[in-house]
Chains A and B, each alone.
Chain A
Amino acid sequence: MTCQTIMFPSPLVIAASDTVAQAVRALVSHEMAAAPVVDAEGRLVGVLSEQKLIALLLPKAATFDSFQDISFLGDDVADMASRFAEAADRPAGEIADREAAVAHPDTSLSEALLLIYRRNGVLPVVERESRALLGVVTADRALARILEVR
């Protein structure tokens, strides 16, 4: 079994030019934790995850691994919301994780499972040369397909 057989071919996709606010609405309405971001030609730009969106609530430097604990910032929710509002109109492509792991149609199932295990969220499956998005492998879908076999 390869990624080709297990992937979901028509996942939720976010356009790189969509705003962050639009992307959040799409993720929430589809109950997804992450989604692939593609350019106008359908090539993968990166993955937009809740993790990246959460970071928009905090000062940028506070997310550096230099801090053991950032409780000193105080928990002003209005501040967090206003920080997010400043980023809301930025294109989703800017926020997406461009270094997110990807799989190819012939990537083995074991390798795909390991990639999902390490970077929880969605694993985009792209064409080797063009990086055209073919589908995604998600944890729940992989689990369901594998348990079906028994």
Chain B
Amino acid sequence: MHGAGGDWVPAVIFGLDPMWFASLVLIATYAVIMTEKVNRAIVALLGAGVMILTGVLNQAAAVRGVDFNTIALLTGMMIIVAITRKSGVFQYVAIWSAKKVQANPAGILLMLQIVTALFSALLDNVTTVLLIVPVTLVITEELRVKPYPFLVAEIFASNIGGTSTLIGDPPNIIIGSATGLTFNDFVFNLGPVVVVIMIVTAALFHVMWGRKMTAAAADRERVMNFNENEAITDVRLLKQAMFVLTLVIGGFVSAHALHLEPGTIAMFGAALLMLLHNMGSSAEEQSHQVHHTFGEVEWVTIFFFVGLFMVVYGVEQAGVLRLLAEKLVSLTGGDLTVTVLAILWASAILSAVVDNIPFVATMIPLIKSMGGTFGGAENLMPLWWALSLGACLGGNGTLIGASANLTVAGFAERAGHPIRFVPYLLLAFPIMLLSIAISTVYVYWRFL
């Protein structure tokens, strides 16, 4: 990922041109990922293997291509969440918020969007919906209201909320790691527009759905009788988890001043929470608990990242991305405004249809190599914000646009209220475009 070339010179078998061969591997990797016939982690690792076996990279170069800061940040946060969720705190907050609005469905629709957006900003989106959607389904079932509006609103809230921080959404993690942009940079630069988009989206959902929702007094009473305190299953664990989470978020906020990478902070937090969680347990219990915790890490995602970083590094080493960047710049006439808007809209539309992670991983070195054209790396800021906004918000456009969407759809199916691809597309794509339009105004006003 990191621009510095290294000392490996690509020498592809049979004397093939590294540039077109590496491009071919990248395109093939993308194409197979898009078919969804083969698991994406397998595809990425195979692509990485091909890059090495054919001599585009050697093993040392491939390992250099892996952004271990991103890997550590993702893994560390997954471990922290895996332990924290056992305390029941997320269910507590969801139930508490529903009761705050007297179990009135329109109020719950709004509250659950806010809760989802806040959690998504601090945790990854898939985890957030994994925690919020089951409680939502219990609440809507008790209220005898259709869960569809709630689930769609939560998809939007998770992707929108995740856009606002460095750790909220994988594209931001990779962008932050590759560019050195800090947790605070993301909050200050993307936070304001995320708040606006969230308000607009929530208002839209209220007009479309919320204001027409009704629930019988007896059904609302049932939800009011929920006891959120009972949702907390382990008070000691809750305290430990809140302590470590506070420490980790504090660490992210002050990372820059402390000269620490987010990966270190997350991984240290994970180790600390595991220590606290296992304190006083016998060796056997510890090994069982630690085994279980590591089992909750989404290794498919982690290995997908590892393979993908290698594939993209191969393409970068072969000089393809520099060439593409030059072409893109010449297309936009070297005009920063045009380039920013092109990246924003293209990222949004592409991210709605393809996985935004490989897309962002490819765009990063490409944008970096535009530094020369726009007079230095510091002038690239608007491009990074445009890439983040486009890639994260674009995920709302289709049911396959982001992993969180598919997770919600999976729950909906199990609960007997499936979310269908085309109806979702017809509803969500225009709302996604609206969020990009708001982002356009913001980026133009703030950065150009």
A residues touching B (Cβ–Cβ < 8 Å)? 59-62, 64, 66-69, 71-74, 76, 79
Q: A59-B142, A69-B230, A72-B231 are in contact. Are A64 and B225 (CB under 8 A)?
A: no
**18 residue pairs A–B, Cβ–Cβ below 8 Å:** A59-B137, A59-B138, A60-B137, A61-B137, A61-B138, A61-B141, A61-B411, A61-B415, A64-B411, A66-B131, A67-B134, A68-B86, A71-B227, A71-B231, A72-B226, A72-B228, A74-B226, A79-B222
B130 within 8 A of A: yes
In the complex, A67 Cα to B95 Cα: how many Å?
13
B-side contacts of A73, CB under 8 Å: 138, 226
B-side contacts of A62, CB under 8 Å: 134, 138
A69 touches B142 (CB 8 A): no
Chain B interface residue number, banded: 20 to 34
A69 touches B134 (CB 8 A): no
B222 touches A69 (CB 8 A): no
B231–chain A nearest beta-carbon distance, Å: 4
> Could you say which of B91, B141, B142, B225 contacts A67, with CB atoms under 8 Å apart?
B91
B88 touches A68 (CB 8 A): yes
- Max chain B C-beta neighbours (<10 A), residue from A64, A66, A72, A79: A72
A64 touches B414 (CB 8 A): yes
B416 within 8 A of A: yes
B residues touching A (Cβ–Cβ < 8 Å)? 86, 88, 91, 95, 130-131, 134-138, 141-142, 222, 225-231, 233, 411, 414-416
A66–chain B nearest beta-carbon distance, Å: 4
B404–chain A nearest beta-carbon distance, Å: 15
A-side contacts of B222, CB under 8 Å: 76, 79
A-side contacts of B228, CB under 8 Å: 72
> Could you say which of A59, A69, A71, A74 contacts B225, with CB atoms under 8 Å apart?
A74
In the complex, A34 Cα to B141 Cα: how many Å?
27
B416 touches A72 (CB 8 A): no
A72 touches B415 (CB 8 A): no
> Could you say which of A64, A71, A72, A79 contacts B134, with CB atoms under 8 Å apart?
A64
A-side contacts of B230, CB under 8 Å: 69, 71-72
B134 touches A61 (CB 8 A): yes
In the complex, A67 Cα to B230 Cα: how many Å?
12
In the complex, A73 Cα to B141 Cα: how many Å?
12
In the complex, A62 Cα to B226 Cα: how many Å?
13
B413–chain A nearest beta-carbon distance, Å: 12
In the complex, A145 Cα to B233 Cα: how many Å?
45
A60 touches B86 (CB 8 A): no
